[in-house]
Structure 1
Amino acid sequence: MPRPQQIFATSGLLTPPPGWPARRLSPLIEHAISLTGAASARVCYVPTAVGDDPSRVAAFVDAFAGTPHTVSHLSLFPQPSVADVRAHLLSQDLIWVSGGSVVNLLAVWRAHRLPEILRECWEAGVVLAGGSAGSICWHVGGSTDSFSDELDPVTDALAFLPYSNGVHHDFPDQPRREKLHGYIGSGLLPDGYATDDGTGLHYVGTELVEAVTLLESADAYRVELTAAGVVERPLGARLLRP
């Protein structure tokens, strides 16, 4: 039976929040693994958005110690870390993309022709996932601090999902909610979805089927332009429990 096309797009909080048992693997990553249906999943970490920082790669790999899963990574600097990028990614159950600079991520991916490969992976049933930049990348775009703290628009993401995407929607020190509303209101970005930190959006095909969160205070939102202006509707994200 063909595997469904799935994307799990999240905002931050990749360490267990208070009340969760002490462990090193993020509950959001665990949830993404559960979507694969594999008891022993093959997981590939793609840290392009942080410049393939070796310390981030080491921390991600270390988090899987003691789990039944097999973890690898795809670095692109100074050249791809695997001999056959397409074959490696297609052999995975889950591809997890790090946060960081979504603008740099998109530029480097396009130079290496990754968008076509990632679409093939998605269509083959490999779960695509990530946080922050690793969330925006699957959508049409969103607001980003890749250029500066001004939260400029990025409008040329991969668009596997035909929506805008707001991440860290409840971030207290940046007007992320206001910026996303403004870009949707001006028509620069299409209607879309936003997530507070600790929250993820689960898509099957291009349809949102569920929002989940690690925090009782967090939620996900549908944000759309109506005749009355931009309207934001809470989705009532399901609380994940330890």
Structure 2
Amino acid sequence: MAADAPTILATSGGYVPGRRTRVEFGPLVHHAVDLSGVSGRRPRVGYLGTAGGDQGWAIADRQEAARLAGLELNPLTLFTMPNVDDVEGYLLEQDVVWVDGGSVANLLAVWRVHGLDAIFRRVWEAGVVLAGVSAGSICWHTSGTTDSFGPELRAVHDGLGLLPFANGVHYDSEERRRPLVHELVGSGELGTTYCTDDGVGLVYRGTELVEAVTERRGQGAYVVTRGSDGRAVEERIEPRRLPGS
């Protein structure tokens, strides 16, 4: 099953505390599945934990979350080598690809070594929904802000560029995120930047933002642009609350 247009769900959420397990999939993950249009069988979700180094415990947690959600989780690991012969074919078999958080700088470097920068464009154009949290949100854009290089946040500029915008994540929960986005947009280092509070996702069809959605009440999405006076201008995008939130 494929979405009816190339689709990306870029988020600062997707996980909720589990009742019997460490984590469960929240409404944002379920919305990614809904966007794929799959029906009549268990949805197939490709999981990439590259940004966290493909840690076994994290994969096990996500597999338990998928079991509880009725999803078929198919991890793609790249350490110490890809776990499948045909990476592109494997991703094309999924309804959704969910990319976990961690170091977006390391994720992008490892992906390029294995040719995933080109592969993901073809997978996206084929209608597989691309989604993820934090690093798994920034990666689809041109650029963003990250702590990949150390405790001090800084810009990252080598995103896959499927979306022609910059991206800010954890906009409300990490105090340096908002001021740094404003500083970088105001200076012209970042272009138009779409940002999400924790629990919020951005839905893109092709390269157009069509809506913001949330799994947490009171949270927001934002677009930051450079005004004629060289200062950052922030506008709030009110997200639609997802079922089950």
Q: TM-score, normalised by structure 2?
A: 0.92
Match of 1:15, SS?
strand
> For residue 236 of structure 2, what is the aligned residue in structure 1?
234
> For residue 125 of structure 2, what is the aligned residue in structure 1?
123
> For residue 30 of structure 1, what is the aligned residue in structure 2?
30
**Structure 1 residue 158 corresponds to structure 2 residue 160:** yes
> For residue 149 of structure 1, what is the aligned residue in structure 2?
151
Match of 1:200, SS?
strand
- Aligned letter for 1:71? L
Cα deviation, residue 84, structure 1: 0.9
**Structure 1 residue 100 corresponds to structure 2 residue 102:** yes
- Cα pair 2:13 2:28 within 8 Å, conserved: no
Greater mean deviation of Cα atoms: 97-106 or 67-76? 67-76
- Aligned letter for 2:211? E
- Cα pair 2:213 2:242 within 8 Å, conserved: yes
Match of 2:124, SS?
helix
Cα deviation, residue 68, structure 1: 3.8
> For residue 64 of structure 2, what is the aligned residue in structure 1?
62
Cα deviation, residue 24, structure 1: 2.4
> For residue 77 of structure 2, what is the aligned residue in structure 1?
75
Distance 2:227 2:85 in 1: 49
Moved over 4 A (4+): none
Q: What does 1:125-204 align with in structure 2 at a 5 Å threshold? A: 125-172=127-174, 174-204=175-205
Render the CA deviation track for 1:212-238: whole Å, top value 9, x for unaligned. 112222100011011142111001111
Distance 1:209 1:216 in 2: 20
Cα deviation, residue 28, structure 1: 1.2
Distance 1:81 1:188 in 2: 38
Distance change >3 Å, CA 103–CA 5, structure 1 → 2: same
- Cα pair 2:14 2:27 within 8 Å, conserved: no
Match of 1:103, SS?
helix
Distance change >3 Å, CA 136–CA 107, structure 1 → 2: same
Distance 1:13 1:139 in 2: 19
Match of 2:61, SS?
helix
Match of 1:75, SS?
coil
Distance change >3 Å, CA 118–CA 216, structure 1 → 2: same
Query: What stretches of structure 2 of length at least 5 have no aligned partner?
Result: none
- Cα pair 2:15 2:24 within 8 Å, conserved: no
Render the CA deviation track for 1:171-214: whole Å, top value 9, x for unaligned. 14x31000011111111111120000000000000000010112
Identity %: 48
Distance 2:27 2:123 in 1: 23
Greater mean deviation of Cα atoms: 100-109 or 81-90? 81-90
> For residue 225 of structure 1, what is the aligned residue in structure 2?
226
Query: What stretches of structure 1 of length at least 5 have no aligned partner?
Result: 18-22
Cα deviation, residue 16, structure 1: 5.7
Distance 1:37 1:117 in 2: 22
- Cα pair 1:160 1:206 within 8 Å, conserved: yes
Match of 1:107, SS?
helix
- Aligned letter for 1:240? L
